Amino acid sequence: MYTLNCRGKIIKIDSPVIMGIINVTPDSFYKGYANLPLTNIVALAGDMINQGATILDLGAQSTRPGSERITAEEEIERLMPALQAIKMAFPEILISADTYHAAVADAAMKSGASIINDISAGEMDAGMIPTVAAWQAPYICMHMKGTPETMQQQALYEDVVKEVLDFFIQKIAICKAAGINDLIIDPGFGFGKTIAHNFSLLKNLSLFSILDVPVLAGLSRKSTVYKTLGCSPAEALNGTTVLNTIALMNGANIIRVHDVKEASEAAILVEAYKKTASL
């Protein structure tokens, strides 16, 4: 079992945690949640909470392959209205700010966020790790090779599992030395990795338990699903549920998803299976 100190609220991770994705960006790779009005965003948050989300992950900058960056100021302008509206409507919900800008992380924490989710693990903004440490916030470190603009041209590894594991051994040490107490690691499915790399990481996900921190799996409607199946992201729900189930069976503690109801059902069934199998 793991615990996270989310601004004084202690969260126990003794069963799978569902993190619902809310993108407040016009160019999300999954168009189902792009360009939503603020009232719809709040309604979506409510639906996710009712369906079993423990954390809502809010992002205001697209990080799909080849995406273009926006400034921290633009990101704050997009993110804060949604974050504040959700926090006002649902004050008890844990909100994670999905950003690689330290300034955005700081603004999000001031507006009620509890967790920072950084796709670059501090590699894209040297101020990020000190900022998270100052807030004593849980920090989600993701592995990414390159940047969103270049990552798919840098998907070269001799042993992807070993290289990602080594990255986290070093990154956890850096974060702890900086004063961050609560870390979560995300292998970064689809971020500077081929489909074969993603399946290799998924197959060997249980190895990451040696790091003794919670493991997050973000597979929802990604190209590993829809390209393998020959469908679109909009048609990738069933495939996503299959890979989420494999991730949970292989030790994922948190799954980051667009579709909370289906992910919650997968988590309930996996837990029931594991308990029965041990009798």
222 flagged as catalytic: yes
Which H, E and C letters describe 107-122, residue by residue?
A: HHHHCCCCEEEECCCC
Strand order across the 183-186 sheet: 183-186, 139-142, 115-118, 94-98, 55-59, 17-23, 254-257, 216-217
| Catalytic member of 78, 87, 221, 222 | 222
Indicate which residue of 256, 261, 274, 275 is catalytic: 256
Which of 122-140 are b and which e, b meaning 16 or more Cβ less than 10 Å from the residue's Cβ? bbbbeebbebbbebbbbbb
**Residue with the two structure tokens 């001799």:** 158
Establish how many alpha carbons lie within 13 A of residue 174's alpha carbon, considering only the half-sphere containing its beta carbon: 16
User: Which residues are part of the catalytic machinery?
Assistant: 222, 256
